[in-house]
Amino acid sequence: MRTKQRLMVLVTIIALLLMLFAAELGVRVRQHLKYGTAATVEDYYTVDAKMGLRIPIANLSSGHVSINSLGFRGPEVPVAKPSGTVRLAFLGASTTWCGEVSGNDYVWPHLVASSLSHEFPRVRFDYVNAAVPGYTMSSMLKSMERRVATLEPDVVIIYEASNNLSGELREIAAKQGVIETAQWEPFSWPSRYSLLWLLTEKNLRVFSAQRSARTNPKRLSVDTTTLGKEYREELTQVVRAAQRSAKIVALATFSIHPRVEQAEERQMSASSSAFVYMPFVTPRLVIESFERYNQIVREVARETGVLLIEGENDIPGDGLHFTDTVHFSDAGSKAMAERVTRALTLSAELQDLVSKYVAAH
């Protein structure tokens, strides 16, 4: 009898392991079909100890992501800018890196460069996508000064808010005792090896945060008009560093999936990835906090005299254009490129720059 019971237990364990293996394989196949690889985001980067920055691995090509020999996502660009070329540089984080789109040709910086080449056929445009997921303004400042400036960009476009905002709200939440520490709690060790475990853990965090947002009165309480002091200072530093290298600097307001006019359940769904990193927020706080940061973007643009790219809500707040709270799908990336291209094309600064290049060559 005991032998039979042991055999049944063994068969059950083997069956469960086979089911888990099949589920893991299925998840990896699905990711490979969607992104061309089952690699995690961390597989694309290394840490440069001298700069204190994580940077993309040069010449790496994996799935839909290709990194050039200089360590930037995108096509090769010569270090010495060719004569008659207008060089664009894009500073940002994951929303400019665009790991969710179908390939390098769908990343919005690439689309902007292609569109400008069409709009101004008498000059050549190339570009450097200096964005790296996880970058904050302090990271972007180092990148601008140490990596981008030497490439002599003519135009620098800056687009980022989410990582600074997440860090600031976590610090406030820790001070209020809503969370134990401002440090983000990393996923458990099995998630490093199992994609199924990682996705399950992410979804459980989102579900828990959504339920808490509906029922738990202990949520973060913050006057959003007080947010962004450090963001303002660091954004200004990045702009000033870009102005020392480029003839034109542009700041773009930040687009998000959740919107004021959406129903509550829609806002909950649209705020999914925000809940992963900030489980103490509500959709309303997410919306109002990003509005505050966009107000700061506008003020810094005015104070520094740089080009302001408006129209963050021109990108529809729906699942067609966003894959989560802030990241673009192919359609969203295209819409982002259109708003940036439109602002640059209509700007007197770029028109004057192009005219000078045409006259000189």
Query: How crowded is the C-beta side of 248, counted as CA atoms within 13 Å?
Result: 23
Say if residue 232's pLDDT is above 90: yes
pLDDT of residue 276: 83
Which of 107-111, 178-182, 183-187 bottoms out in mean pLDDT, i.e. has the lowest?
A: 183-187
CB-CB contact of 156 with 340 (8 Å): no
Q: How far apart are CA 352 and CA 84, in angstroms?
A: 14
| pLDDT tier, 360 (very low <50, low <70, confident <90, very high otherwise) | confident
* Closest C-alpha among 129, 86, 136 to residue 109: 129
For residue range 235-254, list pLDDT tens digits in order.
999 999 999 999 999 999 99
pLDDT higher than 80, residue 205 = no
| pLDDT of res. 189 | 47
* Single-letter residue type at 264: E
Element (H, E) at 248: strand 248-252
183, pLDDT greater than 80: no
Amino acid identity at 301: A
Q: In the chain, where do the E strands start and end?
A: 45-48, 53-56, 61-62, 65-66, 85-92, 124-129, 155-159, 248-252, 307-309
d(CA 70, CA 147): 9
pLDDT over threshold 60, residue 224: yes
The answer, yes or no, to whether residue 274 has pLDDT greater than 60, is yes
Q: What is the pLDDT of residues 32-85, one digit of tens each?
A: 445 555 455 567 888 888 888 999 999 999 878 999 999 999 999 999 999 889
What pLDDT score was predicted for residue 223?
92
**Could you read off the pLDDT of 109-168 as tens digits, one per residue?**
999 999 999 999 999 999 999 999 999 999 999 999 999 999 999 999 999 999 999 999
CB 61 within 8 A of CB 103: no
Structure tokens at 132: 């790296």
User: How open is the CA angle 127-128-130, to the nearest 5 degrees?
Assistant: 150
Helix (H, G, I), strand (E, B) or coil at 46: strand
Classify 55 as helix, strand or coil.
Answer: strand
Structure tokens given for 354: 């192009």
Phi and psi at 72, nearest 5°, equal -125, 140
In this predicted structure, the answer to whether residue 318 has a pLDDT above a threshold of 90 is: yes
Task: Report the percent of the chain where pLDDT is more than 90.
Answer: 65
Note the pTM of the prediction, 2 decimals: 0.85
Q: How far is CA 262 from CA 201, 257, 267, 268, 320, in A?
A: 27, 10, 6, 10, 15
Average pLDDT rounded to a whole number, residues 244-271: 96
The pLDDT confidence band at residue 12, using thresholds 50, 70 and 90, is low
Question: What pLDDT, on the 0 to 100 scale, is given for residue 180?
Answer: 75
Distance CA 113, CA 88 (A): 7
Q: What is the model's pLDDT at position 272?
A: 87
When mean pLDDT is compared across 57-61, 259-263, 319-323, 357-361, the lowest value belongs to: 357-361
3-state secondary structure of 213: helix
Lowest mean pLDDT, pick from 219-223, 253-257, 268-272: 219-223
Asked whether residue 281 carries a pLDDT value surpassing 50, the answer given is yes
Instruction: Please state the rounded mean pLDDT for residues 74-101.
Output: 95
The gap from C-alpha 126 to its chain's centroid, in whole angstroms, comes to: 21
Region of poorest pLDDT, from 9-13, 133-137, 298-302, 344-348:
9-13
Token couple for 33: 């079909």
Instruction: Check if the beta carbon of residue 241 is closer than 8 Å to that of residue 89.
Output: no
Q: Which residue from 129, 340, 143, 130 is spatially nearest to 234, judged by alpha carbons?
A: 143
- C-alpha 311/C-alpha 317 separation (Å) is 12
